[in-house]
């Protein structure tokens, strides 16, 4: 799985300062080649419907922010000075939408959102063909460019100093750890190479991200049996 001669997953890095924020953080990166994207279809709609039902059963009158898996991210964001009204983890944002229905976006995005909700994990999906170099989880110096959409119009925003950001050589690919992805690297119905990022916190984070990756792999192979998948788990101990 390469981009411009770089082995994408092998070259991915986590800034050691991230583990000063959460020493128990782990990330699983899954690279996919030869996948067939497309618009929302019956299979991705069914996966989302099942995820909605599972989430509503888990919540059962409980606010998303009261779930331990969401509390862990709220606490982490708070330690970084980020209030819930400013930014929420992607899993909290999805859970808040479950009672009225998760968005149907495209087949690949639908499937990783369904897995995210099933496993109560933040998961990001990126188009590898839009990447410039390998993915890196870093602490922002401040001012790194972030292309997004505001009021329906493309715009360039910037990361704040001290933010935890996913980035490549061209700029920020996701702000505030897993809050908002950029427009440049988002998955589309035409995507054929993808990177999925599974963020985990807590003592059992490694097994949780692995189980989530197994489920997503089964979904992806169901729609494209010939797709090639590879994965890499990165933990604090890799930097020791």
Instruction: Dihedral sign for Cα 207, 211, 217, 220, please.
Output: negative
Per-residue pLDDT tens for 165-193?
999 999 999 999 999 999 999 999 999 99
For residues 205 and 9, which has the higher predicted lDDT (pLDDT)? 205
Looking at residue 239, its pLDDT comes to 53
According to the model, what pLDDT value does residue 56 have?
Answer: 94
Residue 222 pLDDT level (bands cut at 50, 70, 90): very high
Comparison of pLDDT for 2 and 205, the residue scoring more:
205
Q: 205-223 vs 107-119: helix axis angle to the nearest 10?
A: 150
Q: Is the pLDDT of residue 238 over 90?
A: no
| Residue-wise pLDDT tens digits, 137-169 | 999 999 899 999 888 888 999 999 999 999 999
Q: Give pLDDT, residue 152.
A: 84
Question: Across residues 97-101, what is the average pLDDT?
Answer: 95
Domain boundaries, the chain: 2-239
Average of per-residue pLDDT across 33-51: 97
Write the Ramachandran bin of 60: left for phi over 0, alpha for psi from -120 to 50, otherwise beta.
left
Q: Find out whether 170 and 194 touch, Cβ atoms under 8 Å.
A: no
Q: Is the pLDDT of residue 32 over 50?
A: yes
- Reported as a pLDDT band with limits 50, 70 and 90, residue 46 is very high
Full-prediction pTM beyond 0.85?
yes
Query: 129-139, pLDDT tens digit by residue?
Result: 999 999 999 99
Query: Domain spanning 2-239: which CATH class is it, in words?
Result: alpha beta
Question: How does pLDDT run across 195-218, given as a tens digit for each residue?
Answer: 999 999 998 999 999 999 999 999
- What's the pLDDT band for 4 if we cut at 50, 70, 90? very low
d(CA 223, CA 139): 36
For the residues 45-49, what does the mean pLDDT come to? 98
Show the CA angle centred on residue 153, arms to residues 183 and 127, nearest 5°.
10
More confident position, 240 or 177: 177
Is the pLDDT reported for residue 219 higher than 50? yes
User: What pLDDT shows up at residue 153?
Assistant: 87
CA angle 199, 203, 208 (to 5 degrees): 45
Q: How far apart are CA 187 and CA 183, in angstroms?
A: 9
- Residues in Cβ contact with 59 at an 8 Å cutoff, skipping those fewer than 6 apart: 67, 95, 98, 99
């Amino acid at each position: 799985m390469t981009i411009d001669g770089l082995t994408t997953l092998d070259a991915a890095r986590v800034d050691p300062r991230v583990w000063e924020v959460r020493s128990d953080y782990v990330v699983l990166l899954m690279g996919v080649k030869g996948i067939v994207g497309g618009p929302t279809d019956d299979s991705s709609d069914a996966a989302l419907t099942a995820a909605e039902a599972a989430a509503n059963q888990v919540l059962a009158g409980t606010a998303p922010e009261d779930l331990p898996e969401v509390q862990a991210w709220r606490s982490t964001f708070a330690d970084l000075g980020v209030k819930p009204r400013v930014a929420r983890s992607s899993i909290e944002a999805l859970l808040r939408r479950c009672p009225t229905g998760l968005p149907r976006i495209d087949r690949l995005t639908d499937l990783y959102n369904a897995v995210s909700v099933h496993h109560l994990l933040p998961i990001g999906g990126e188009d590898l063909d839009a990447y410039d170099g390998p993915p890196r989880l870093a602490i922002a110096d401040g001012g790194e460019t972030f292309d997004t959409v505001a009021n329906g119009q493309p715009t360039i925003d910037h990361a704040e100093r001290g933010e935890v950001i996913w980035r490549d050589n061209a700029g920020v690919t996701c702000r505030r750890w897993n809050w908002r992805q950029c427009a440049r690297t988002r998955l589309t119905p035409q995507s054929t190479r993808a990177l999925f990022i599974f963020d985990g916190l807590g003592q059992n984070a490694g097994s949780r991200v692995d189980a989530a990756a197994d489920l997503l792999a089964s979904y992806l192979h169901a729609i494209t049996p010939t797709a090639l998948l590879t994965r890499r788990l990165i933990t604090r101990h890799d930097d020791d």
